[in-house]
Chains A and B, each alone.
Chain A
């Protein structure tokens, strides 16, 4: 395991790939193709565009919360880029309620839409504690919520994948939709940052 130097596991992975190619279970170049496809796929910028549209278009926001898969298609996005199309569940932060997403059992995340998840999202440290003490965990991320704000934690324990629409920051009335999208971070889309 981790006592293997990286070069050893790297050689073992190549060895298994070659074996599978010889058994007809992998095509030549298939792995590189999949990696390129994956790296060109999802990105937090997609989620930021969705959040910004929800901020400027209340009708879109309503459709997004009711049927996210349908709503994101309006912007040309889909949840079909992975092994199969997944249901997306979008929740929106308000002055009264803050949402934060976790997968306590493994690391479920809307990769097809947002790209790979950050390492901390996959860590036992985050997965174990955010369901038990979300306020404390958010404080560690530098997010201090008012006492009156209710916190809803979502555990991605089955087939849906989740995204948070952060609250639109105050004083952003003059910004374009594109500029608004530029404010939204990956942590904001998971719920561990305000925006």
Chain B
């Protein structure tokens, strides 16, 4: 079924906003997420299509609420679990571990 990323021709999104003198990344963690994804693809942990698929599978509300690199990080953690690299609890910060996983 069509997914939330497939927006060509859709109505209802806000006006286009340009950011003057936009930096390549808005925070250090964004650069890290970008580099982390490239490293994992080069290592063959997953491929680029699986990565896109993992972004597209995000629940629509979460996708729309997330920033660009938040989506990337969500996809990376999804794939690390699905590929058996880590169990979900290991990806949480120590003080987040008592939270339920949804």
Contact = CB atoms under 8 A, between A and B. Distances in A.
- Assess A/B contact in the complex (Cβ within 8 A): yes
Interface of A: 1-4, 6, 8-17, 19-20, 23, 25-26, 30-32, 34-35, 38-39, 83, 102, 104-107, 115-116, 118-120, 122-129, 131-132, 137, 140-141, 155
Interface residues of B, number: 55
A12 B28 CA distance: 13
Given A4-B70, A30-B35, A129-B16, 11 more contacts: A1-B70, A8-B93, A9-B70, A19-B86, A39-B31, A83-B38, A116-B25, A119-B22, A120-B19, A125-B13, A125-B16
B101 interface: no
Nearest to A25: B43
Interface of B: 5-19, 22, 24-25, 27-29, 31-36, 38-43, 45, 48, 52, 55, 62, 64-68, 70, 73-74, 76-77, 80, 85-86, 90-93
Contact of A119 (B31, B43, B68): B68
Contacts, number: 145
